[in-house]
Amino acid sequence: MSENILTPEEIIKTGELVFKKTKLMTDAELSYCPGCGHGVAHRITMEVIEELGLEEQTIGIAPVGCSVLAYEFMNVDMQEAAHGRAPALATGIKRVYPNKTVFTYQGVGDLAAIGTAETIHACNRGENITIIFINNGIYGMTGGQMAPTTLPGMNSSTSPYGRDVHTMGYPLKITELVAMLPGTSYVTRQAVHKPGLVRKAKKAIKKAFELQMENKGTSFVEIVSNCNSGWKMTPVESNEWLDKNMLDYYPLGDLKG
């Protein structure tokens, strides 16, 4: 048996190339926890920008949250926003450069708590931008506190006995809210915890960017993701938990467009 095992060099030499990292992801070591969905969401976003040939005209905006350092990984021009203000930055850019491609990459607290006004109003104005929204139901960077999208009864460090909707409010379906606004062209909810879903999510992101370039209004892609560290689970457990619990409240699929 042992003589049949190929060395890595032999695999590269003899094997067929099945995957190549997009040049629009840098070689910087990702700051995300092993098992987190951010890495995949980053990669498919940047693959889409490369495939659409938008590299030289794209400006991305990183939020405050786990993806605060997204600009270290995304190999395009990037701006770092204050917490929640990414859609306002994107508006400022797009208004002075209507032909550039502008996207924000935001987490739950950024987009659906402190930045709710900026999110709703950018979408309501129909800014020709693309918003990528990672919904993992928790505040990961600050250590697992309750988020606006934390599920009822779900534990976090600020809802240690479970989210009590009577005192802590209900999970905010902000994607449903922006889908109601005439300014949005395409609103969809995707996930990246299974290979088939990754392919679908990438297709959705591609559509979102294409619509932006056609000046159709705001395109909005929610990605329901895991937070194995914040949820205090192994990566596999967190993906199973996501599949079993998150998708009932946040069903996948296109909401609009």
Partner 1 sequence: MEEVKLMKGNEAVAEAAIRAGVDAYFGYPITPQSEVIEYLMAEEPHKRTGMVVLQAESELAAINMVYGAAACGKKAMTSSSSPGFSLKQEGISYIAGAELPCVIVDVVRGGPGLGTIQPSQADYFQVVKGGGHGDYNLIVLAPATVQEMADFIELAFELAFKYRNPAVILSDGVIGQMMEKVVFSPQKERLTDEEIDTLYNSWATTGKKNGRERNIITSLELVPERQEAHNHHLQAKYKKITENEIRFETFNCEDADYLLVAYGSSARICQKTVQLAREKGIKVGLLRPITLWPYPSEAINKLADQVKGILAVEMSAGQMVEDVRLAVNGKVKVEHYGRFGGMVHSPNEVLDALETKIIGG
Residues that bind partner 1 (CB under 8 A): 55-59, 61-62, 68-69, 71, 75-82, 85, 88-93, 95-97, 100-101, 117-118, 121
CA distances from 66 to 100, 145, 200, 250 (A): 26, 13, 24, 21
For Cα atoms 159, 163, 166, give the angle at the middle one, nearest 5 degrees: 120
> Which residues touch 129 (CB under 8 Å, ≥6 apart)?
87, 90, 91, 94, 102, 103, 104, 122, 212, 218, 219
Minimum distance, C-beta of residue 26 to partner 1, in the bound complex (Å): 9
- Give the residue with the Cβ less far from partner 1, 91 or 228: 91
Residue 47 three-state SS: helix
> CA 199 to CA 109: how far, in whole Å?
26
- Give the residue with the Cβ less far from partner 1, 62 or 113: 62
> CA 44 to CA 250: how far, in whole Å?
21
Residue 195 three-state SS: helix
Residue found under tokens 């192994």: 234
- 218, β-bridge pairs: 184
Minimum distance, C-beta of residue 162 to partner 1, in the bound complex (Å): 33
Tokens of 36: 């987190």
- Give the residue with the Cβ less far from partner 1, 30 or 252: 30
Minimum distance, C-beta of residue 105 to partner 1, in the bound complex (Å): 14
Minimum distance, C-beta of residue 58 to partner 1, in the bound complex (Å): 6
Minimum distance, C-beta of residue 122 to partner 1, in the bound complex (Å): 8
Minimum distance, C-beta of residue 62 to partner 1, in the bound complex (Å): 8
Characterize 215-244 residue by residue with b for buried, 16 or more Cβ atoms within 10 angstroms of its Cβ, and e for exposed: ebbbbbbbbbbbbbbbbebebeebbebbee
- Give the residue with the Cβ less far from partner 1, 16 or 56: 56
- Give the residue with the Cβ less far from partner 1, 38 or 189: 38
Minimum distance, C-beta of residue 49 to partner 1, in the bound complex (Å): 11
- Give the residue with the Cβ less far from partner 1, 119 or 135: 119
- Give the residue with the Cβ less far from partner 1, 39 or 92: 92
